[in-house]
Amino acid sequence: MDNKQLEDFIRPLGEGLDVKTGKQFCEVTLPADKLHSFAQLMKENGQLKFNFLFCLTGVDYGDSLGVVYHLRSTEFNHTIVLKTKTSDRVNPVLDSVTDLWHTADFHEREVFDLLGIKFNNHPDLRRLFMEDSAGYPLRKDYVDEINIVTK
């Protein structure tokens, strides 16, 4: 399916979805509590078959924290982007998609490491690079007066 067909196909699949085509891919913005069930639908629907999570990105929007998922179907060669976010900056929690795409394991650990987003049902949520005491360095409000030089 091309982006337009994907849009038309996906829009009726759930409530609270914001479906539009961005610069490159069809983008779906959805509330955090619907993320896992919707992702599962994307993977298991016979006409979509998004069996490949090729990019998982954590984002700090300033007022909220979010995750962007790039999904691809190796069978139909179409791509979709899922976006979700949470406005809780103190204790941000999202659902893990590790049970659907195993590659999410390390990606989610990295997001947890650098942005502090916790993932429910993640098998092994430990810090990947940083020390436990380091804080979350990719957050916009991160302060480190020793290591960081600012203008």
Partner 1 sequence: MKREEFKDNESLDLLKESGTNVLLTTIDDVINWGRKNSLWPLTFATSCCGIEMMAAGAPRHDFARFGMEVYRASPRQADVIVVAGTIVNKMAPVLKRLYDQMSEPKYVIAMGACAISGGPFFLNSYSVVKGVEHVIPVDVYVPGCPPRPEALLYGMLQLQRLIETQTIKSRKGRNLSHNDV
Residues forming a β-bridge with 93: 118
CB 28 within 8 A of CB 50: no
Residues forming a β-bridge with 83: 29, 68
* Shortest Å, Cβ 147 to partner 1: 5
Query: Judged by CB under 8 A, does residue 145 bind partner 1?
Result: no
Number of residues in contact with partner 1 under rule CB under 8 A: 9
- Whole-angstrom CA distances from 64 to 23, 73, 90 are 23, 29, 10
- Tell me whether residue 90 or residue 149 sits nearer to partner 1 (CB atom): 149
How many angstroms from the chain centroid is the CA of residue 67?
3
Q: Which of residues 123-142 bind partner 1 (CB under 8 A)?
A: 129, 137, 142
Query: Judged by CB under 8 A, does residue 77 bind partner 1?
Result: no
- Tell me whether residue 133 or residue 150 sits nearer to partner 1 (CB atom): 150
Interface residues toward partner 1, by CB under 8 A = 129, 137, 142, 144, 147-151
